[in-house]
Amino acid sequence: MYTDIHSHVIWGVDDGAETKEETFRMLREAVADGIGTIVCTPHITPGIYAFPEEKFQDNYSAANEWIKENDLPLKLYQGAEILFTDATPQMLRDKRIPSMAGSRYILVEFSPAEKMAVIMDALQQITATGYLPIIAHLERYSNIRTTDQVREIKERFQAMIQINARSLFRRQPLLRRRFFSGLFQEGLVDFIATDTHAAPGRESCMSKGMEALRRQFGAGTADAIERRPYGVILKNLSDKMVASFSNG
């Protein structure tokens, strides 16, 4: 089953699910969409808006309990979608922002029209904290236009790239289609995720996106992207489980 690393499924903490009923519906939809693991990534804007951490923890726990009670084949982990601000580096150092399932990686976003130089400076500041960036929905940034730019980002900052599943089957302008094709043909995309919200039109669409990926760019590309969360974000969890078993 798929791993969705970008989901606004926990209610009451951002512009995703508003009620627990919406969360429960979204969890059922995720399973129906072939998803077996979700990293819950509520919006966090460090130093600008206070994040309701206690509510997130309570509602995350309640969602896990509901999954158990309803015997769903689904695992949840904590993360965050971080809009980079001047306060982000210090909050990362202070461990006041969840990383992706407790890994070295964080999911970071920028304003769609942010300048390339600003993005590069932000990535430098993130890596200086010891964390590594996953850039959320790269397709949204109007000033990232070439595969050379993306390759430089990945090489300089050990960054990883996430694309929304919906972008794989939604109509794109010609120049963006060419850019998209280059990203996948050159192996520059690391993750496909849903970025699902409760609102109509933002439902879970992982299966449809992965089918489009497989059809357009081949089974090898799709299989590598499907496996990647287990070798990157969830690797520390797998290593801990193996160590625990070995010491058992």
Pairing of strands 160-164, 132-135: parallel
Check if the beta carbon of residue 29 is closer than 8 Å to that of residue 199. no
What 3-state class would DSSP assign to 137?
coil
Q: How many residues does the chain have?
A: 248
Taking the C-alpha atoms of residue 242 and residue 6, their distance in angstroms, rounded to an integer, is 26
**Span 2-242: which CATH code?**
3.20.20.140
Q: Report pLDDT for 242.
A: 30
| Contact indicator for 80, 56 with CB cutoff of 8 Å | no
- Please report the pLDDT score of residue 97 as a whole number: 92
Calpha distance 54→56 (Å, rounded): 5
Half-sphere exposure at residue 155, Cβ-oriented, CA atoms within 13 angstroms: 7
pTM of the model: 0.93
Query: Measured between alpha carbons, how far is 65 from 213 in angstroms, rounded to an integer?
Result: 34
Q: Is residue 190 scored above 50 in pLDDT?
A: yes
**Structural domain boundaries of the chain?**
2-242
Looking at residue 240, what is its pLDDT?
45
pLDDT digits (tens, 9 = 90+) for 68-127: 999 999 999 999 999 999 999 999 999 999 999 999 999 999 999 999 999 999 999 999
Give the burial class of 4: count Cβ atoms within 10 A of its Cβ; 0-12 exposed, 13-18 middle, 19 or more buried.
buried
Q: Does the structure show a pLDDT above 60 at 247?
A: no
Position 237 confidence tier, pLDDT thresholds 50, 70, 90: low
